[in-house]
Amino acid sequence: MDPLSNALSLLKPRHYLVGGLDLGEQVSLQFGQHQGIKCYSVVSGDCWIALDGDSQTIHLTAGTCFLLLRGRPFRLTTDLDTDPVDAIPLLGAICRESGVAHIEGGGRCFMVGGFFTFEEGDAQSLFAELPSIVVLQTDSDKAAMRLSIERMQEELQKQQPGVDLVVQNLAYLMLIQALRLHLSDPQQGCTGWLFALSDPVMKQAINAMHQMPEQSWTVEKLARLVGMSRSVFAQRFKQRVGSSPIEYLTEWRMRLAEDRLSRTNDSLGEIALSLGYESESAFSTAFKRVMGSSPRRHSKKHASQQ
């Protein structure tokens, strides 16, 4: 499994809200602070979106996809001169039969997508290096997203048996596609392990750590794996990822440990050994340093939330 798939597989969705939003000619909706990630694509028509506190208003046209990754309040409107109203009461008008919310008669802008919430801290740690909003609106981006958008629109229209599960998975697929398109953009020039995956050398090193976290990796071993000198590899990794190779390896191991602690009854010794630690004590020390609490306390906290 590739590094991005590895990381996304650790996300634990707690709630989905997927469907369509059909906006009328003079609609202005104010959305408050929210947990989780919103991912929507405009099927037809156009509208504008603006994050609270930002002076920039972004024009969204047919085929455009946008991600909201920080939970900041935002405004969605088809008329810049219309005063915004609270979106939540209006979204209660979602038609249970069609899965679409028709606001003020609809007809001006139709979009499909989903809102995903995850276990506390999961999404924030994974997407920490990404901006509050990601907008994909180049011709190539629209072409890449078109199939998922059209399929989701079709599912909402036909309402065949199993539609709820299909649109959930299509919305999640849209999210992954949108992330992949954003991360593969060479013009981003951003630091972080997600962006570093576009660098073939860094991807090879990160993939090795993801696939074999139990190995006794050193900077020298990783450098030799990718065919670089130790010093050049360490410097390049730090520049592209934002942390040293060993810091990255330790954090990835702790994310895997966190997942094991929350979904299995494996002992600390078993988890420690599977992640390359010779002792439970060394593992516990590393876990507390990265995660902020001991493995045992983390397990108890998770058990109390079940």
- Over range 131-142, report the average pLDDT: 87
- Looking at the predicted structure, is the pLDDT value of residue 188 above 90? no
Q: Give the pLDDT band of residue 187 (cuts 50, 70, 90).
A: low
Over residues 193-219, the mean pLDDT reads 90
**Same topology between domain 3-183 and domain 194-304:** no
What mean pLDDT is predicted for residues 94-100?
A: 63
Q: Residue ranges of the domains in the chain?
A: 3-183, 194-304
pTM for the predicted model, two decimal places: 0.76
Q: Which superfamily is assigned to 194-304 in CATH?
A: Homeodomain-like (1.10.10.60)
pLDDT band at residue 108 under the 50/70/90 scheme = very high
pLDDT in tens, 47-91: 999 999 888 899 999 999 998 988 899 999 999 999 999 988 877
pLDDT score at 98 = 64
Tokens of 304: 């109390």
CB 42 within 8 A of CB 147: no
Q: Which residue has better confidence, 301 or 277?
A: 277
pLDDT at position 13 is 65
Stated as kind and residue range, the H or E segment containing 19 is: strand 13-23
For residues 260 and 291, give the distance between their C-alpha atoms in angstroms, rounded to a whole number: 14
Rounded mean pLDDT, 2-24 = 78
Which architecture, in CATH terms, is 3-183? Sandwich (2.60)
**17, exposed or middle or buried, with CB in 10 Å at 0-12, 13-18, 19+?**
middle
